[in-house]
Chains A and B, each alone.
Chain A
Amino acid sequence: MGEHVIKLPDVGEGVAEAELVEWEVKVGDQVLEDQVLAAVMTDKATVEIPAPRDGKVIWLGAEIGDIIAVGSPIVRMEVEGQGNVKPGEELPAEENEPAAEARDGPESPSEPQSPGEAARAKEGAPSDKADFAEPEAARPSPKPAGTGGGASTSTAPQESGTKPAGSGSAAAAADTGLPRAIGEKPLASPAVRRRAQDGGIDLRRVAGSGPAGRITNDDLDTFIAAGGAPAATGGSVRARDMSVEEIKVVGLRRKIAEKMSTSKSRIPHITYVDEVDVTALEDLRAKLNREKSGSKPKLTLLPFLMRAMARAIAEQPQMNSLYDDEAGIVRRYGGMNMGVAAQTDKGLVVPVVRHVEALSIWDCAGELNRLADAAKNGTASREELTGATITITSLGAMGGIVTTPVINHPEVAIVGVNKMRVMPVWQDGQFVPRKMMNLSSSFDHRVIDGWDAAVFIQRIKGLLEAPASIFIED
């Protein structure tokens, strides 16, 4: 038994590639010599590809609609006697053999990988042609239209009647694109630009083969053929999903996006994490909840944290301020308006509990409940969503041991609560189970030094670990 590889023959004068329009066979079919296997279409004609001999189809190298470069393997057949691939032989460069890419593409052991691609990936050459960020080496399968480029220099035996796959301008252009400097506009005629816009193609990613790196219409063809066409998949592997869904970033999402980029681009964050032993606090909280009168809200951990923060802020007022970095002014607020990040169906909102310094622990809990409901129902007023001077964010319920919270610009600090969990803690010569919880907090390092940040969190930690001290008046 041998294996016979059928490549896309030269289907016409000057044709470098063709579109697969029909499969007449499927994997496992027995075929007879001259039986039509597939039909491909060039811009000139539709051409049928016959079986060169009897055999059994074991692999189909493309899907209907794929653009296939001349010379790319499209069918592998198991044949009587010797095929055109000797078992165990080093793979001809243009052909794809599972054995070969075990070296080149460990991520996809069962999938064929074009040596051309692998070689490029190894050289670390930038690849402009794909619309996807994944590294070339990780691509699960060859792209017939473009991949021949690397192979054209190989000494692989050519099938009679086929051209080297790299002969198309296509493959060359994909590799030769001048990298454009950051911010430099891609050079292309208005017609090419329009075609790219219509096709949703970002011309910055398209290599230009023309003078001064100009992107020609052919370059765009190449790009589309290489990056746009779904790749051939070998047998039973999963197809690559090339779909792209455009989702307009609007409304609250856009607001969030703007806020976050303002914050991250303008504020040098310093993030500080420490763990807090909340065993005592949890005991107290459980007791208070157990004994509270029915009308009072259930206490979560947040009201305690808010009150602890209120005390810590009283000692470090710089934490409760807004930094107007354009005017170069930090406004320290006496009133502590604490934003509490809340996830809603539409995205993140931050309702604000006003004047925490004047609220009792029960007041805090009541306000939190009320605002959380308002935020979820979308009934929170503008007033209730603005005016924070410091923010608390809690992903506690979800788990996660550390976060790097993003400061709610122009505030200067954000305190993040991580999941509480029971941990063995070395205490008095033995391990004891303690309820531990991390606080992950970020500060605007322009106006808050790391030392002050640490002092602040340590103070909060001290208060939470000895919860009675939260309530002791000075």
Chain B
Amino acid sequence: MTDHSCKLLVIGAGPGGYIAAIRAGQLGIDTIIVERAAPGGTCLNIGCIPSKALIHAAEEFEKARAFADGNPLGISAGAPKLDLSKTVAWKDGIVKTLTTGVSGLLKKAKVKRIEGTAKFLDGKTVRVEGPDGPATIRAENVCIATGSQPVELPFLPFGGDVISSTEALSLSEPPKTLAVIGAGYIGLELGIAFAKLGSKVTIVEMADHVLPLYDKDLTKPVAKHMESLGIDVHLGARAKERVETGVTVETSDGETLTVEADKILVTVGRSPVTESWGREMLVLDMEGRFIRIDDECRTSMNGIFAIGDVTGEPMLAHRAMAQGEMVAEIVADHRRSWDKRAIPAVCFTDPEIVSVGLSPEEARAEGIEIETNLFPFAANGRALTMESSDGFVRAVARKDNHLLVGLQAVGKGVAELSAAFGLALEMGARLEDVAGTIHAHPTQGEAFQEAALRTLGHALHI
């Protein structure tokens, strides 16, 4: 049994936890981070990064297939072949590079890492069971960053051919047929990727449109492209049970049909990891499934902070990172509180969707009088040269002072616009600011400027 004490103990080395630890280390705080698996959490190991690697590979493969198939670009090439196990190995290499990088950063920041499973004994004491034997850590401050895990459907428990996103990212070959239960962003990203890799994909969603958290204007180009990829989508439908050939589905008209599926990917959401680390030893106020926090990420207990997915929506790595940074600085006695304007959200579907701030509906629901308009990529030169005329950029601004309250886009590669969108909102930009900024020609970013211009009523290219 080893005993440690520290000023800050971080439980969980996902993007929130490792950032908290690194920042705390930079500030000279004596910090320990505990993680039962590799550093980087869901994001680096089984989430954001590996899925983007798979998506990229799928896109390249689809291009190659298009080249073999005849295409307007006049390129012809032989039929491509795919060795998915190699793709997965390549992906694992990227993950390894990044997790090693995180380890290095933690070390550089003089953060002590302890491998194992942490369990609270009381509000200041945590016991770790790990490969190096049990350890007890007494900490002045604890930051809970235990993250989230895929939600399991009781009638379709994970195991065998019923898989979560984790297993989907490590298949040795694309399934011939794949049923995706849940058309949220994870389900669609992976579903589209596997469709491109050659799987026959069927998507089952309870809501009346895919990506139910986004408005239909944004999701329409995605739905359209899915159709062209041959993806079957059952909306207003419920998965019922596993059968030998796949899964039965009750459709919106009440019929039951069987979706053939070698693999069934269940992506119906993620739930916070609030068990198994000794929460019962604490008196933490909860907010639904999540740990309740205030605007300094403090929980109801003194000296205990919580960040990331375990604290609520949106469950996004970059939110956790910003919270982690803030908590480290608060522990270092800086005055900080959560004052972010917007947390960008991106779907790496094809085409991609990015949304920062409020959608027109959300803004109206908040009682804000708005002006909003969009600029289609069909009128953007660069988009046409990349065969990606689908989609648009949309600006949402207050009517009275033209302050931007939301920016959205759907289109190829628009995820990168999140930088410009986020900056515009954080800086408090008005439509005139965006309209008055020279945007390089020819880029898709011009659509951002044009969307602002059009909302002001004087677009130039439409």
- Per-residue contact bits, chain A 199-224, to B (CB 8 Å; 1 contact, 0 not): 01000000000111110000000000
Interface membership of B81, Cβ < 8 A: no
A-facing residues in B324-354 (Cβ within 8 Å): 334-337, 339, 341
Judge if B230 is at the interface, Cβ distance under 8 Å. Answer: no
- B432 CB, min distance to chain A CBs, angstroms: 7
Alpha-carbon separation in the docked complex, A211 to B335 (Å): 27
Number of interface residues, chain B, beta carbon within 8 A: 17
Contacting residues, chain A, for B427 (C-beta < 8 A): 189-190
Whether B428 pairs with A187 at a CB distance below 8 angstroms is yes
A291 contacts partner chain B, Cβ-Cβ < 8 Å? no
- Expressed in whole angstroms, the Cα–Cα distance for A421 and B59 within the complex equals 89
Q: Is the interface of B mostly helix, strand, loop or mixed?
A: loop
- Which residue of chain B is the closest to A208 with respect to CB atoms? B428
Q: Which of A155-196 contact B (CB under 8 A)?
A: 185, 187-190, 193
The smallest C-beta distance from A211 to any residue of chain B, in angstroms, reads: 6
Q: Which residues of B contact A154 (CB under 8 A)?
A: none
Contact A197 B335, CB 8 Å, known A211-B401, A211-B432, A212-B401: yes
A123 close to chain B: CB less than 8 A: no
**Contact present for B339 and A214 (CB under 8 Å):** no
Inside 8 A of B398's CB, which chain A residues have their CB?
Answer: 212
- Expressed in whole angstroms, the Cα–Cα distance for A363 and B426 within the complex equals 65
Pair A213/B401 contact, Cβ less than 8 Å: yes
Q: Is A198 an interface residue (CB 8 A)?
A: yes
Whether, in the assembled complex, A250 has its beta carbon less than 8 Å from a beta carbon of chain B, the answer is yes
Q: How large is the interface on A (under 10, 10 to 19, 20 to 34, 35 or more residues)?
A: 10 to 19
Contact residues in A for B339 (Cβ distance below 8 Å): 193, 197
Q: Say whether, besides A189-B428, A190-B426, A212-B428, A198 and B334 are in contact (CB < 8 Å).
A: yes
B428 touches A188 (CB 8 A): yes
Establish whether residues A200 and B426, one from each chain, have CB atoms under 8 Å apart when the complex forms. no
Within 8 A of A (CB), among B280-316: 302
Question: Chain B residues with Cβ under 8 A from A188's Cβ?
Answer: 428
Distance between B431 CB and nearest chain A CB, rounded to angstroms: 10
In angstroms, Cα B427 to Cα A119, docked, is 35
Nearest-Cβ distance from residue B253 to partner chain A, whole angstroms: 41
Which chain A residue has the least Cβ–Cβ distance from B433?
Answer: A211
Q: Give A198's nearest chain B residue, CB to CB.
A: B335
Q: Could you jot down 26 A-B contacts, CB within 8 Å? A: A185-B341, A187-B403, A188-B428, A189-B426, A189-B427, A190-B426, A193-B339, A197-B334, A197-B335, A197-B336, A197-B337, A197-B339, A198-B334, A198-B335, A200-B335, A210-B428, A211-B430, A211-B432, A211-B433, A212-B398, A212-B402, A212-B403, A212-B428, A212-B430, A213-B401, A250-B302
Interchain residue pairs A-B with the least CB separation, the first 10: A212-B401, A187-B428, A212-B403, A189-B427, A214-B428, A197-B335, A190-B426, A193-B339, A212-B430, A211-B430
18 other contacts beyond A212-B401, A250-B302, with CB at 8 A cut-off? Answer: A187-B428, A189-B427, A189-B428, A190-B427, A197-B336, A197-B337, A197-B339, A198-B334, A198-B335, A211-B430, A211-B432, A211-B433, A212-B398, A212-B402, A212-B428, A212-B430, A213-B401, A214-B428
